[in-house]
Amino acid sequence: MRSAARIFVVIAAVALAAPAAMAETPKFARNATSFTLDNGIEVVVIPDHRAPIVTHMVWYKAGAADEQSGVSGVAHFLEHLMFKGTKDHPEGEFSKVINSVGGNENAFTTDDTTAYHQTVAKQYLPQMMEFEADRMANLQLSEPEVLTERDVILEERRMRIDSSPGARLGEAVRAALYANSRYGIPTIGWQNEMEQLDLDDAVAWYDRFYTPNNAFVIVAGDVTEDEVRKLAEATYGKVKRRFDPPPRFRAAEPEPQAARTVTLADPQVTQPSLQRLYLAPSYATAAPGEAEALDILAEILGGGTTSRLYRDLVVDQGIAASAGTFYQSNQLGDTMFGFYGSPRGDVTLDRIEAALDADIARVVSDGVTEAEVAAAKRRLIAATVFAEDNAFSLARALGTAIATGETIEEAQNWPAAIDAVTVDAVNAAAARYLDVRRSVTGYLVGEPAKNPS
Amino acid sequence: MRSAARIFVVIAAVALAAPAAMAETPKFARNATSFTLDNGIEVVVIPDHRAPIVTHMVWYKAGAADEQSGVSGVAHFLEHLMFKGTKDHPEGEFSKVINSVGGNENAFTTDDTTAYHQTVAKQYLPQMMEFEADRMANLQLSEPEVLTERDVILEERRMRIDSSPGARLGEAVRAALYANSRYGIPTIGWQNEMEQLDLDDAVAWYDRFYTPNNAFVIVAGDVTEDEVRKLAEATYGKVKRRFDPPPRFRAAEPEPQAARTVTLADPQVTQPSLQRLYLAPSYATAAPGEAEALDILAEILGGGTTSRLYRDLVVDQGIAASAGTFYQSNQLGDTMFGFYGSPRGDVTLDRIEAALDADIARVVSDGVTEAEVAAAKRRLIAATVFAEDNAFSLARALGTAIATGETIEEAQNWPAAIDAVTVDAVNAAAARYLDVRRSVTGYLVGEPAKNPS
């Protein structure tokens, strides 16, 4: 409820402001400050004194797309193995402490980064930092525990991917979209390669990326920068710079030449669906303003129940059970701008695709309106304010931006950058990127694929 | 004429032999012998005294699929740069000598290997070996000539790929077929990466792969092993082992989950066509006998005018201008088993695809016959004998086998391995690999693709 109230206030404020009133646009994570210790680790502090809790995250600038050929999945594998303990803190101790104080913890791996986080009452922050600093340099792994954990990630793959036709289609669609970069390879890894991962692979990954000068820390919550600096110096500051990480590199995609489709047929599928992905630039690869324009375009076309697609396919025509867009804008390399839709009742996928194509063709030929752009800006900026209300989501959003190449200042000024987008910029982005040659269309169907062989 | 006569004799001989008469199956390149010098270079000799000429080839076990992410095209780029000369033999001297003695030369790069070759009167062989040995270790490159040659390979790409819709489709189809290995990346490179190749990239490639212990030489023609050994010791034998090359590695493909299509629409296209590729094992990755079975399957389905597809689509139904198969069996990693067809007159691609699908479904469900397998064996074995008649094609075929992981003995015994294939093995291979989930279908069309966006 509190969140909703805050959003309302911001929407009202923006709505009353003059157009392009950039000075009045709220900043994202405006309290965030940062400093860098001698060993190269950057520490970001986001004070928020509403409750005596803190979220503590450590981020490594290494994700699945940094893997070398043949060891897909090793980034995520090491994320699991980071819970195996050190000499000073054997396996399980860290988690036991968090549980005993009523905190929670987790970790995640993406294509561009790996992060570990805990949310605890503020007095336990020093202990969290000490544990994370310790496992940054002192992880101990043995062959048996590595092989046991490999069974765990293989089981995770079976559960999350292999048993889900939609997830299998998603993998095949991304493999078809990316012709050059490793974003076409699943974050969790290909099963045939995961089965071969061993202690050497895990240690090689740890010794290539886990060093303070390849990491950053975010502490959000009931702290001050001074407090965090003292704690950071006493914990992370003691970790030696172990080596220089390789330069971050994402192979650029060639200009796509041909429209592609991917059809996954599985008797398990009871609700057919389709997705359409276009290769698009990310904040890291786009020309200035282009990624912001795509964010607004995604919002206009498919952001929620007032979007064009939802109104057209779900409400007006009544042919779709769902329809919308997604734009994975925070990525180090070229990324995807996507559409999805699933039919209602007996409606065919062909009909959904034709309606989707008509809406895409219309935005390419006729463009968007001033009113649509203004409304999309209000919603996007309001969403950043919504994120502010939760220390974890705020830290995660800021961390994602930093891990994919943005500065803290760029991330803070994102609302103003969104506010500066023009109708022309949105129309130019639609015309440039919603080109069928850049696309892959994925079909999830219950019956066998059309080709009978 | 001579070749045709030899083939006839062999076909007759095989036809008269009892089934599975392996002892009577001709060997491929039966005269080939080899030895290895102290620096690790292997030298293969194939004596053939019918004419006083020799073909001399040097092969490096490095091709485009050995490239690292971001420098696609560097293998082929270095092939060009190998003609830039050394201290002792400045640019142009090598070629001038070959021309002056009426010889010919060339070089080629594939995904798995790079080779340089000359065909000259036998008395010039020592000079050829001296030149090749020299540039194996002493290549001299400067920034200006590297940049000039980069324009040459970019122009080559424009001519061969960008100006040809069929070639552009081929690239897109292979990119969609291979989800994990670098076979999905074109041998010539992606233009955006070729544009960035520089002197450092070229030298890094040369210093990673161009060493005698990563090369082999084939001399075919009017020579004896003893002669070649003396010459090799005096030339290649003097080249120092410069470093250890990295182990050869091809990322294995995950089990494919979803049928894919790729549509390239270009107004230049006056003759539409389609291709269907299935991910299949190569001689290097297949279970014993499986690649041989696929070779026979390809021959039965699409090898020439007596094949099932040609007879059905071109002759009987009269709907296709062409139809056939291809199986790229010599590859270090997983490879493709392909079909192609183009319609005659006003016939649609859909109709060609339906006919192709029917023939594929029929072979999967009903299998092949003893008579078809026997005829395919005769034709494949005869083709190896045909290759024997030309020193260059013989050397190239043997070199390709060696460069993709076969021993000389395995290559020599290939006819016997083909002769041993059973109907059951062919049927099992068809059922296992002609599965639509393993496939990518490429459409080359003149009108815009179906999706109107």
- In order, the DSSP letters of A268-333 are T-SS-EEEEEEEE--TTTSPTTHHHHHHHHHHHHHSSTTSHHIIIIIIIS--EEEEEEEE----SS
Q: What ranges do the domains of chain B cover?
A: 31-238, 260-445
Task: Tell me, yes or no, if B353 is annotated catalytic.
Answer: no
What's the mean pLDDT in B365-381?
Answer: 97
Q: Which of A257, A268, A349, A359 to mutate to test the interface with B (most CBs of B within 10 A)?
A: A257
- Residue A383 confidence (pLDDT): 87
When CB atoms are compared, the residue of A179, A264, A439 closest to B175 is A179
- Among candidate residues B79, B149, B253, B388, the one labeled active-site is B79
- The predicted complex's ipTM stands at 0.85
Average pLDDT over residues B20-47: 87
| pLDDT exceeds 60 at position B101 | yes
Tell me how far apart the alpha carbons of residues A36 and A236 are, in angstroms, rounded to a whole number: 11
Q: Which of A257, A259, A448 sits opposite B451 (nearest CB)?
A: A259
% residues pLDDT > 70 (chain B): 94
Report whether CATH 3.30.830.10 matches the domain B31-238: yes
**Cβ A72–B437 below 8 Å, yes or no?**
no
Fold of B260-445: Cytochrome Bc1 Complex; Chain A, domain 1 (3.30.830)
Mean pLDDT value across residues B309-317 = 97
For residue B14, the model assigns a pLDDT of: 36
Say if the Cβ atoms of A264 and B258 lie within 8 Å: yes
By Cβ distance, the residue of B70, B184, B257 closest to A172 is: B257
Q: Is B441 in Cβ contact with A453 (below 8 Å)?
A: no
* pLDDT > 60? residue B93: yes
What is the reported pLDDT for A4? 30
Q: Read off the pLDDT band of B390 (50, 70, 90).
A: confident
Chain A residues closer than 8 Å to B182 by CB: 69
Cα separation, A321 vs A271, whole angstroms: 10
Q: Residue B452 and residue A169: Cβ atoms within 8 Å? A: no
A191 contacts on B by Cβ (under 8 Å): 254-255
CB contact under 8 A, A70 and B260: no
Assign B10 a pLDDT band (cuts: 50, 70, 90).
very low
Q: Do A263 and B259 touch (CB under 8 A)?
A: yes
* Residue A177 and residue A261 in contact, taking contact as beta carbons nearer than 8 Å: no
CA distance B419 to B399: 22
Sign of the torsion angle spanned by Cα atoms B58, B62, B65, B70: negative
DSSP type of residue B72: T
Predicted pLDDT of residue A5: 30
Measured distance between the N- and C-terminal CA atoms of chain A, rounded to whole angstroms: 56
Q: For residue A260, list chain B residues with Cβ-Cβ distance below 8 A.
A: 172, 176, 260-263
C-beta of residue A331 within 8 angstroms of C-beta of residue A284: yes
What pLDDT score was predicted for residue A448? 61
A31-238 and A260-445: same fold?
Answer: yes
Mean pLDDT of chain B: 92
Number of A:B CB contacts under 8 A?
Answer: 153
pLDDT in tens, B13-22: 333 333 444 4
Confidence of residue B448 (pLDDT cuts 50, 70, 90): low
Q: Which residue of A has its CA nearest to B249?
A: A70
> How far is the alpha carbon of B241 from chain A, nearest alpha carbon, in Å?
27
Q: How far apart are the C-alpha atoms of B124 and B97, rounded to whole Å?
A: 9
List CB contacts (< 8 A) between B433 and chain A: none
Amino acid making up residue A97: V
Give the 3-state secondary structure of A328-343.
CCCCCCCEEEEEEEEE
Q: What is the nearest CA distance from B189 to chain A, expressed in angstroms?
A: 10
pLDDT beneath 50: ranges in chain A: 1-22, 449-453
Distance from CA of A435 to the nearest CA of B (A): 6
Least CB-CB distance to B257: which of A168, A185, A252? A168
Taking alpha carbons only, the member of B180, B331, B350 closest to residue B257 is B180
User: What's the order of all strands across the beta sheet hosting B439-445?
Assistant: A320-327, A335-343, A273-280, A439-445, A259-265, B259-265, B439-445, B273-280, B335-343, B320-327
pLDDT at B354: 98
Tell me how many degrees the CA angle A288-A292-A295 measures, rounded to the nearest 5.
150
- Residue B215, pLDDT above cutoff 80: yes
For residue B447, what pLDDT band results from cuts at 50, 70 and 90? Answer: confident
- Alpha-carbon distance of B135 to B144, in angstroms, equals 19
> Residue A195: what residue type?
E
How far apart are alpha carbons A67 and A62 in whole angstroms? 8
Q: Which of A69, A258, A448 sits opposite B263 (nearest CB)?
A: A258
pLDDT of residue B386: 79
Q: Residues of B with CB below 8 A from A441's CB?
A: 451
- Among chain A residues, CA nearest to B179: A175
